[in-house]
Amino acid sequence: MIDNSNVESLQIAVRRRLWRGQFVAATRLGLWGSAAFMLLGMAMHLTTRPVGVDTVLFAIAALWTAMMAWAAMRRPSDPACALWADRHLGGESAFGTLLEMRDGAPNTPALQWLEQWATARVPHSLQLLTARRESARLSRPLLSLLVCTALATIVLTLPGTAPSAPQTLATPSPPSVAGNLTPDSELASKQLASALASALRSAESRRASDRRDNGQTPAAGPGKDDASRDSRMAQAGAASKGDRTTLGESLPDTTDAASSAPATSQESGAGSGRDAGDSRDDRADAGVSRVPRSTIQVQRRKSNERRPSLERQADANQLATFDDDLPTRRTATEREPSALAAATPPPASGATSLTPTKAAYVQAWMNASRQRR
Amino acid sequence: MDERQQATPLTPAPAADSAFADAHRKLQDLRTLLDRVIVGQGELVTHLVTAVFAGGHVLIEGLPGLGKTHLAKALAAALGLHWARVQCTPDLMPADVTGAEIYATAAGGASTFEFRPGPVFAQLVLVDEINRATPRTQSALLEAMQERQVTHAGISHRLPSPFCVLATQNPIELEGTYPLPEAQLDRFMFKLTVPFPDRASLRALLDVSLDAEPADTLQPIAGPADVLRIADLCRTVLLGERCKEAAVDLVVATQPDANGSDSGARRHIRYGASPRALQAVIRAARVGAVMAGRSHVDIDDLAAVALPVLRHRILLRLESELDGLDADATLASVIDGWRRKF
């Protein structure tokens, strides 16, 4: 029997080559998979929930473990090695046939000749195997992995940018003014709103007692000066109502007194412009509720959906009255509907501090109300 | 005792270690010799030698004047075979091919009918323009080609061994001809086409055969015993499982209705190759392996003989023929598709 050490050495070399190819393929898959995991982690981090770096790394480690195990288990068999050598190393089916004929076939001259032929072919095949260069094709997955790693490093180290699911479900409405308030300013606004509401409540009760005492009806109508005053007061009240409504939505803990006072004022304002004109000066009140314009517009759009058209009109007038950029031209027909709006206390707003002038106005108005009472 | 029986007993003796090397050398020498005589027809010569040593018969198709008869004569001369020629015509009778009983008078005065063998009783029979013989005469060759015997008056007469029929036919001038039936075509291992030689071959032809007929002066390099020995050796060539599968796939690929057939075959072929084609492919591939110096068959050996084995064993659809498609083009695509799988 001819020594087949040369053939076996070729088989070992081929097996090493093929097995290495399996590992290269597994590495390629692992690189693509790692990049995919990083992209997935980034997507989850940005959209669904915060994903930790360690989670992504754990998934990648599991993937690589699986890939390497997969490659390790795919050890090329002897027929596969022989077939590969036949196809790619000039074996001309010799190695495969020799492998088959070794097992149980009689030692015929043809088999002897085959072994001679295969043995003589081994050096040439080894030379071909050495000269054979196959690209690992790892550059693209490696580049993808590097890019994804850089992106993931940036994204995953950010604080959780994804909104939490309960918050998303609980607050479907747009953010309110109060969402932008600091706790101090919110507290100050609440206190101010409470003070104004109590003052208005006392003024309203005083006016009601006066009406009862004098037997006047709201239909008697105010004088000219009163009318202009009432108009301004109604505008201020309408604006306050709009702001209060928004504030009330965003601040559900507002006291009942503060929330009930505007409703009372609105009822009385709707019945008589003169009664609304009893208020002192509404511009200072409206100034209290002044907030950044864009925020107010959004809030009003929201609040206007729930109010009748007259209120919306008064609300717009209020905006026009206290917006310095808008012209203050206003006809009598425009003012009359505004008188229907309630004179409501100036609501708390996003403005965190009052200017001395505004504070003085508010204080004076409160003192006057107290004196009238 | 028959010469073949002397050379090849029922249980062949193990060949010596150098048997394959000797067979390979003889085949190479024979091919080189014929290449010198038949200029520019290297592939044709290879296939012809392959068929002779594989024990098959060859149908050669080509235009007149391309050296078909010359090739047969040269092959017989190189192998030292007894050869005969039958020129087929429409009035050729079967007895003119197989032989007939004649009334003969012995020296003692006794007269008996004795069988006089026809030209088919030769080791190499050249049947020229076989398609001009009537079907009756053509069918007389059936038994001889397949069973290697002739039955006359109830008595079977063994044909000599080796036995090979080289039939030629002309692809033009088909008036008054009788195309060979499929059953008889299937008896031929190869159908070879003789291409027109290129310019260099034509130039070399002048130097070889202008003033003399080289086939007449050829010295044999082997004898009938060598042919039989090499043929027996070729039957021991190893055939791996992969090559067996490949050969089966090749034949299946030509079937229009079989699972795993080629798409071109399904579209253009009406009848595919027979199981006899599978046997012919393997036998021819084994000779090709020995010719290549191997004792095992490779896929390339199968591919090399696929076309001449299959081209006369398939029938194209009528619409494909009307589209100008021929068997060679169809089989070329089938073989290409089959070769890519291995």
**Same domain for B60 and B188?**
yes
Q: State the count of interchain CB pairs (< 8 A) between A and B.
A: 66
What residues pair up with B59 in beta bridges, in sequence order? B167, B191
Domain ends where: B236, B260, B281? B236
pLDDT value at position B143? 80
**Distance separating alpha carbons of residues B303 and B298, to the nearest angstrom:** 9
pLDDT value at position B245? 94
Residue B6 lies in a domain: no
Contacts 24+ apart (CB under 8 A), A36-44: A37/A63, A38/A145, A38/A148, A38/A149, A38/A151, A38/A152, A39/A148, A39/A151, A39/A152, A41/A152, A41/A156, A42/A148, A42/A151, A42/A152, A42/A155, A42/A156
Instruction: List the alpha helices (DSSP H) in B80-198.
Output: 94-98, 135-147, 182-185
Contact by Cβ (8 Å): B41, B194: yes
Of the two residues B197 and A4, the one the predictor is more confident about is B197
Picking from A314, A307, A203, A190, the residue whose alpha carbon sits closest to that of residue A259 is A190
Residue spans of chain B under pLDDT 70: 1-17
**Distance separating alpha carbons of residues A234 and A318, to the nearest angstrom:** 8
B295–A111 CB contact, under 8 Å: yes
**Same domain for B68 and B181?**
yes
CB-nearest partner of B15 from A92, A109, A114: A109
Its domain, for residue B188, covers 16-203+221-236
Contact by Cβ (8 Å): B265, B332: no
**Same domain for B151 and B244?**
no
**Average per-residue pLDDT in chain A?**
69
Per residue in A235-260, is it b (16+ CB within 10 Å) or e — as a string? bbbbbbbbbbbbbbbbbeebeeebbe
**Same domain for B60 and B161?**
yes
Q: How does DSSP classify residue A3?
A: -
B296–A110 CB contact, under 8 Å: yes
The pLDDT tens digits of the residues spanning A190-233 come to: 777 777 777 777 777 777 777 666 655 444 444 444 444 444 55
Distance from CA of B251 to the nearest CA of A (A): 20
**Same domain for B97 and B109?**
yes
Chain B contact set for A82 (CB, 8 A): none
Distance from CA of B14 to the nearest CA of A (A): 7
**Same domain for B45 and B190?**
yes
pLDDT value at position A278? 52
Residue B4 lies in a domain: no
Q: Where are the domains of chain A?
A: 5-166, 177-372
**Which tokens belong to A306?**
């729930």
**Same domain for B243 and B129?**
no
Residue A297: partners with Cβ closer than 8 Å, 6 or more residues away = none
Write the single-letter amino acid at A84. Answer: W
Residue B307 lies in a domain: yes
**Same domain for B188 and B100?**
yes
**Same domain for B23 and B168?**
yes
Closest-CA residue of chain B to A82? B242
Residue B334 belongs to domain with CATH number: 1.10.8.80
Q: Which helix (H) or strand (E) holds B199?
A: helix B199-209
CB-nearest partner of A109 from B16, B243, B298: B16
Residue B85 lies in a domain: yes
pLDDT value at position A175? 45
Query: Which phi and psi (to 5°) does residue B293 adopt?
Result: 85, 25
Q: Looking at residues A69-87, what average pLDDT do you find?
A: 92
**Distance separating alpha carbons of residues B280 and B264, to the nearest angstrom:** 23
Percent of chain A with pLDDT strictly greater than 70: 51
**Which tokens belong to A372?**
């009238």
Tally of domains in chain B: 2
Residue B213 lies in a domain: no
The pLDDT tens digits of the residues spanning A164-195 come to: 444 444 444 444 444 444 556 667 767 777 77
A114–B238 CB contact, under 8 Å: yes
**Distance separating alpha carbons of residues B89 and B96, to the nearest angstrom:** 11
**Same domain for B111 and B152?**
yes
**Distance separating alpha carbons of residues A169 and A165, to the nearest angstrom:** 6
Per-residue pLDDT at A83 exceeds 80: yes
Domain ends where: B236, B260, B277? B236
ipTM: 0.79
User: Residue by residue, what is the 3-state secondary structure of A119-162?
Assistant: HHHHHHHHHHHHHCCCCCCCHHHHHHHHHHHHHHHHHHCCCCCC
β B155-158/B149-152 pair status:
antiparallel
Per residue in A335-365, is it b (16+ CB within 10 Å) or e — as a string? bebbbbbbbbbbbbbbbeebeeebeebbeeb
Cα A223–Cα A229–Cα A232 angle in degrees, nearest 5: 140
CB-nearest partner of B297 from A93, A108, A117: A93
Residue B129 belongs to domain with CATH number: 3.40.50.300
Q: Which helix (H) or strand (E) holds A318?
A: helix A309-322
Picking from A243, A288, A287, A289, the residue whose alpha carbon sits closest to that of residue A262 is A243
CB-nearest partner of A96 from B14, B237, B240: B240
Phi-psi region of B176 (alpha: psi -120 to 50; beta: other; left: phi over 0): left
Per-residue pLDDT at A84 exceeds 50: yes
**Same domain for B53 and B108?**
yes
Phi-psi region of A326 (alpha: psi -120 to 50; beta: other; left: phi over 0): beta
A117–B14 CB contact, under 8 Å: no
**Same domain for B108 and B198?**
yes
Picking from B300, B308, B302, the residue whose alpha carbon sits closest to that of residue B283 is B302
pLDDT tier at A63, thresholds 50, 70, 90: very high
**Which tokens belong to B235?**
């039957």
Residue B177 lies in a domain: yes
Please give the sequence-ordered ranges of beta strands (E in DSSP) within A127-271, or none if there are none: none
| B-interface mutation test, from A92, A119, A121, most B Cβ less than 10 A away | A92
The whole model's pTM is what?
0.64
pLDDT value at position B228? 94
DSSP state string for B248-272: HHHHHHT-SSSTT--HHHHHHEEE-
pLDDT value at position A311? 47
Per-residue pLDDT at A18 exceeds 90: yes
What residues pair up with B271 in beta bridges, in sequence order? B315
Contact by Cβ (8 Å): A114, A100: no
pLDDT value at position B25? 92
**Distance separating alpha carbons of residues B13 and B5, to the nearest angstrom:** 13
